[in-house]
């Protein structure tokens, strides 16, 4: 990772009153040759997106931000940035509510009080000069939860009497946290990130259902593998590595 690994200096932040999607803007800038690092923040998103093409409803007062940066890491290793981002979101939340309320559900769902409060979408592409551009999109329900949500969701204000931070204030806290965890990733490698993520993990040791496209399996979540895959212990004792999909604890898949 370049630009955001060696120091804790915060990348510049560009704020839009309204835009279709901060990830879409990051893609446009990357394909035009911009390398970052740069944070893009929207006070209003008209076409926010989540994982697997789902609509992401930002809502007034919520955070919609994307970090654009360039890296020479191979794609598989670069994808580990989603865990870095999840830890940064956890730190952002813990700056405003008790840390005991914050957890992380595989693969990249920050939770508050056991409910989804944030989404992370990582996209990438090849650069003409070599390496990759990476767009790390982060949405956080600061002020309100979605009106129409596929899964139960919550917002920071549910657990906080004082007004929530503004999106601009929140992205500054998020950016600082991302820089700290990026340094850990760069200097100590992914195992240190995996350990920190596991310490905040939601549902480890509990039965769960994993929905993997056309396949649905049940097991017990045991933790992260060395590449970020979820280790799932099946009823027959076999261990299954889950590299992509949705995992559900105590809820219908």
Choice among 47-51, 152-156, 212-216 with the minimum mean pLDDT:
47-51
Report the pLDDT value the prediction gives residue 187, as an integer from 0 to 100: 96
pLDDT tens profile 111-153: 999 999 999 999 999 998 899 999 999 999 999 988 766 678 9
215-224 and 207-212 as β-strands: parallel, antiparallel, unpaired? antiparallel
Asked if residue 25 is part of any domain, the answer here is yes
Domain count, the chain: 2
Domain that residue 81 falls in: 13-199
Residues 167 and 214 in one domain: no
Q: b/e map of 139-148 (b: 16 or more CB within 10 Å)? A: bbbbbbbbee
Residues 74 and 182 in one domain: yes
- Which residues neighbour 235 within 8 Å (Cβ) at sequence distance 6 or greater? 218, 219
Asked if residue 30 is part of any domain, the answer here is yes
Angle at 93 (CA atoms; ends 90, 94), nearest 5 degrees: 85
Q: How far is CA 12 from CA 3, 39, 40, 143, 184, in A?
A: 11, 6, 9, 24, 21
Residues 60 and 184 in one domain: yes
Report the pLDDT value the prediction gives residue 179, as an integer from 0 to 100: 97
pLDDT tens profile 20-72: 999 999 999 999 999 999 999 999 988 766 544 455 556 789 999 999 999 99
Residues 149 and 216 in one domain: no
Residues 174 and 240 in one domain: no
Q: What is the mean pLDDT of the chain?
A: 89
Residues 226 and 184 in one domain: no
Report the CATH number that the domain containing residue 87 is assigned in CATH.
3.30.930.10
pTM, 2 dp:
0.89
């Amino acid at each position: 990772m370049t630009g955001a690994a060696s120091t804790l200096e915060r990348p510049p932040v560009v704020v839009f009153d309204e835009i279709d999607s901060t990830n879409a803007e990051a893609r446009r800038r990357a394909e035009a040759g911009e390398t970052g690092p740069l944070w893009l923040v929207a006070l209003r998103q008209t076409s926010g997106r989540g994982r697997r093409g789902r609509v992401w409803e930002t809502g007034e007062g919520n955070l919609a931000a994307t970090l654009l940066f360039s890296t020479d890491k191979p794609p598989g290793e670069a994808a580990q940035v989603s865990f870095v981002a999840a830890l940064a979101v956890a730190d952002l939340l813990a700056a405003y509510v008790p840390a005991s309320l914050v957890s992380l559900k595989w693969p990249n769902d920050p939770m508050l009080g056991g409910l989804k409060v944030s989404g992370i979408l990582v996209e990438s592409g090849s650069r003409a000069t070599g390496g990759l551009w990476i767009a790390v999109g982060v949405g956080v329900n600061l002020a309100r939860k979605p009106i129409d949500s596929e899964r139960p969701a919550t917002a920071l204000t549910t657990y906080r009497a004082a007004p929530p931070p503004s999106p601009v204030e929140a992205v500054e806290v998020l950016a600082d946290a991302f820089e700290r965890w990026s340094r850990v990733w760069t200097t100590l490698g992914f195992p240190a990130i995996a350990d920190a993520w596991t310490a905040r993990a939601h549902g480890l040791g509990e039965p769960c259902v994993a929905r993997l496209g056309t396949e649905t399996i049940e097991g017990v979540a045991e933790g992260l593998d060395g590449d970020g895959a979820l280790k799932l212990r099946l009823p027959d004792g076999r261990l299954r590595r889950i590299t992509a999909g949705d995992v559900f604890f105590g809820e219908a898949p």
